[in-house]
Amino acid sequence: MTENRETLRASLLKELDPAKIPAHIGIIMDGNGRWAKSRGKSRIRGHQEGARRVKTVVRFANDLGVKHISLYAFSVENWARPSFEVSALMRLIRAYIIRERNDLHAEGVKFRLLGRLEELAPEIVRQAQISTELMQNNPGLSLNLCINYGGRAEIVDAVKKIINKGYKADQITEELIAANLYWPELPDVDLMVRTSGEMRTSNFHLWRGAYSELYFTPVLWPDFDDVELLKALLAYQNRERRFGMISEQLAKN
């Protein structure tokens, strides 16, 4: 980090209110391919740089007191990409889980995969289970790696679970659906961040993200560092979250 970047980081930290840190941040990590192309490198190299950036962001979020961070690493739609890129991404995900396991554990982080895990390579799921079990009692941030994940798919799978449990139509409530999502204990997303300048949520956390504050940045994911995360957090803290109410009602609460 350059001296100017360090100065900016310190300045942003002073503005941050520790009492208003979002409990759950969702990040759509976009722009790896464009980052690589702009440097004359392969898309795979871009994904490798993006994986390295995860460590910086997760560590800093943990230090700030964020409770949950969900990273959109591979969507159900991403299988349509060229087969060589899909294979490389799966190898990269497996390598990340193994490589970062001990460091994440040492930093008190918890870990889990979210998505249609039955469609993933068994070795990826096995390595993820090892990490989940190792870190399950850690006190820090929960890192939720969303692989083969889709917001619509999660809702469909929740409805299938409910049907298989024998519930009738008049018994179905929002609370029941929420209790059958991939990890029911995971709270709603407070802040959803998308990098690379695209302004859409791309089927990410559709249920839990119903009242998320959205933050879009032109910064490509491999360039998204702790300073950029601070900018997103400050934008979040400067918004009024009304959840359908009006400002006067919030003032009374």
**Residues 68, 23: contact at Cβ < 8 Å?**
yes
List pLDDT tens digits, range 182-239: 999 999 999 999 999 999 999 999 999 999 999 999 999 999 999 999 999 999 999 9
User: Which architecture does CATH list for 20-196+204-236?
Assistant: 3-Layer(aba) Sandwich (3.40)
List pLDDT tens digits, range 116-173: 999 999 999 999 999 999 999 999 999 999 999 999 999 999 999 999 999 999 999 9
The pTM (predicted TM-score) of the whole model is 0.94
Domain ranges of the chain: 20-196+204-236
Model confidence at 249: pLDDT above 60: no
Alpha carbon distance 139, 155 (integer Å)? 29
Residue 78 falls in the annotated catalytic set: yes
**Residues 147, 74: contact at Cβ < 8 Å?**
yes
Using alpha carbons, select from 188, 187, 215 the residue that is nearest to residue 201.
215
Could you say which of 30, 148, 190, 226 is catalytic?
A: 30
Could you say which of 78, 138, 157, 223 is catalytic?
A: 78
Q: What is the token pair recorded at 1?
A: 């980090």
Residue 188 falls in the annotated catalytic set: no
Quick count: other Cβ atoms within 10 Å of Cβ 115?
Answer: 23
